[in-house]
Amino acid sequence: MRGLLTSVLVAVAAVVLLLVVSGDDDGRHDLHVTVGDAANTVVGQRIRAGGVTVGEISSIDPVERGRKVRLGLRLDDSVWPLPTGTRMQLRWAGTANYDDRYIDLKLGRRGAPPIADGAALPTADFTTPVELDTFLQTFTPRVRTDLRGMIDNAGATLKQARPGLTRALGVTPAALDEASHVMVDLTADQRALDTLLRQADTVVNAVQTADPGLRTLLTGAARTFDAVAARQGELKATLDAAPGTFAHARTTLAKADGTLDAAAALTDRLAPGATELQRIASPLNHVLGTVVKVGPDARSTLATARRAVPDLNPLLTKATAQLPQLGDIGKQASTELTCLRPYSPEIASFFTNWGDFLSDTDGRDKFIRANVIVPLPASFNALPYNSGTAKQLFPGMEFGFPRPPGGVAGQPWYQPDCGVTADQVNPFLDSETRK
């Protein structure tokens, strides 16, 4: 009983699945393509392959603000799946029929990958015919004027060419006979002729797709030829003079060989200098830029100096008289500054200590920090002993006159050239005592 119930359930599920699948698949497949123009197309228009209807246009929607149109294409199972490379062409139903259109379907190479259902067909694979109004629009007023001029000039041209045309017509029968044989050969193999025409159509379509400006190119070429024809007299004179010009050019070029050899040698000699010039170009460019920037200030300074010349003359006269003395002072000052330079730490610390002395804090304590010094006791003003005697009486006392640089830090730096030696820290060699 349980096995029978299971079989029934499986059968019911299979029927339901079959109904769902068959309800979803109506045997139709959709594609879409976007083209620039699809005149006289309507929803429901036929898609034919080999003369048999295999689908229809399912939708027509404008895109890109009406500049293009998106066609929905619905196809039957009879041609599905479509191989990649399938092409479509919008065609007229007859030679004198412009409103009844259909889409001719040309299947791609058998075995090519299939096109997916719902995919977009490349625009290049969908061809639309040239409309009559589009063809007529090419005859602009300027084109019509040029065409009229060509017809007017054709009469005079044919009149001048009449003798030659007469002779050509005399030999035309033989040429037509040969052309007839060629046509017989062409029609003998219809398959080869059909292949040739199809390949020619493919080549023309590729040229049109790759170069949509071919008409502009041909128009420009026509204008160029017109300009050349208008200057035919000058062009003829130029061509007549060309042989003599070329002869002179040949002679000149023969003489130019030696000049070019000398120029090559000169170039080889100049090459190192050019390399160096290239290296200094960037710094020189920076210098020139700086000169340009300071130019206004320099010009203003020179103008101010020009105005101050009358006042500067007496000063320069007096300064000239004082230059020898100023030179001596400079030499002495140089020596003194050389001797003062090692005392830079002591000079800096003097101002720092003096600043701390006048401040209400030294960074650690507030208001006051005292180091009480007890003067030596003396019963009268003039002590009867010198520095050496004081050192003997008070061994903890230090002596230095003048003190050497770094002496305060216990790292004396003696300067013999400035008269600061180890004798200046020996109390027994006190210079004032020797005096």
Question: Block means of pLDDT (10 residues each) for the chain, length 435 residues?
Answer: 45 41 61 83 85 89 88 90 88 66 86 89 84 73 82 78 79 77 73 76 70 67 78 80 83 81 84 82 84 86 82 80 80 78 81 65 61 56 72 81 81 85 82 65
Distance CA 367, CA 307 (A): 57
In a domain, 92, yes or no: yes
Distance CA 26, CA 62 (A): 27
- Tokens read off for 387: 């520095």
In a domain, 89, yes or no: yes
| Domain that residue 127 falls in | 26-132
In a domain, 354, yes or no: yes
In a domain, 148, yes or no: no
- Tokens read off for 222: 């026509």
In a domain, 140, yes or no: no
Helix axes 162-188, 190-210, angle to 10 degrees: 120
Number of folded domains in the chain? 2
How high is the pLDDT of residue 17? 40
The strand pairing partners of 48, in sequence order, are 53, 104
How high is the pLDDT of residue 95? 61
Q: Among residues 77, 107, 132, which one ends one of the domains?
A: 132
Q: Does residue 34 contact residue 125 with C-beta atoms inside 8 Å?
A: no
The model carries a pTM of 0.31
The strand pairing partners of 324, in sequence order, are none
Is the alpha carbon torsion for 21, 22, 26, 28 positive or negative? positive
Element (H, E) at 71: strand 68-76
Element (H, E) at 208: helix 190-210
- Cis before residue 81, ω within 30 degrees of 0? yes
What would you measure as the largest C-alpha separation in the chain, in angstroms? 161
Helix axes 141-160, 162-188, angle to 10 degrees: 110
Q: Does residue 54 contact residue 48 with C-beta atoms inside 8 Å?
A: yes
In a domain, 278, yes or no: no
Ranges of H-type helices in 52-161: 132-137, 141-160
Q: Among residues 74, 108, 132, which one ends one of the domains?
A: 132
Q: Does residue 34 contact residue 70 with C-beta atoms inside 8 Å?
A: yes
In a domain, 310, yes or no: no
In a domain, 84, yes or no: yes
| Burial of 426 from C-beta contacts in 10 A (0-12 / 13-18 / 19+) | middle
Q: Among residues 105, 132, 159, which one ends one of the domains?
A: 132
- Tokens read off for 391: 């050192």
Distance CA 412, CA 427 (A): 16
The strand pairing partners of 103, in sequence order, are 47, 90
